[in-house]
A and B are shown apart, each in its own frame.
Chain A
Amino acid sequence: MQHNTRYVVTFVLILTSVVALLLTFLNEAWKEKMETNEAIFNKKAILKAVATDVGFEVDDMGDEEVLSIFDNQVEQKVYDMDGIELTPEEVLSIRKYKGGQAEFIDMAKEKKLDEDVRLLPMFIFNGDNNKKYYIISVRGNGLWDEIWGNIALENDFTTIAGASFDHKGETPGLGAEIKDNPVFPASFKGKKIYNEAGAFTSVFVRKGGARDPLHEVDGISGATVTADGVSEMMARGIKYYEPIFAAAKNK
Chain B
Amino acid sequence: MSAMKNISFRNLLVFSAFLRLFLIIYGEWQDTHMEVRYTDVDYLVFSDAASLMASGKSPYQRSTYRYSPLIAFLLIPNSIIHHSWGKFIFSASDLLVGLLIHTILKLRGVPQSISTYCAMVWLVNPFTFTIGTRGNCEPVVCAMVLWIIVCLMNGNLLQAAVWYGLVVHLRIYPIIYALPIILVLDPLYFQSGKKPAVIDWSSSRIKSAFKSSSTKGGDPHHTWVSLTRLVTVRRLMFGLVSGAVFFCCTGFFFYLYGWEFLHEALLYHLTRTDPRHNFSIYFYHIYLQYEHEFSALEKLISFLPQIIVQLVLIFRFAQDLPFCFFVQTLAFVAFNKVITAQYFVWFFCLLPLILPWCSMKLKWKGLACNFLWMGAQTHWLIWGYLLEFKGKHVFIQLWLASLFFLAVNTFVLISIIRHHTYSPVFKRLERVGSKKTS
A and B bound?
no
Q: CB within 8 Å of A: which residues of B? A: none
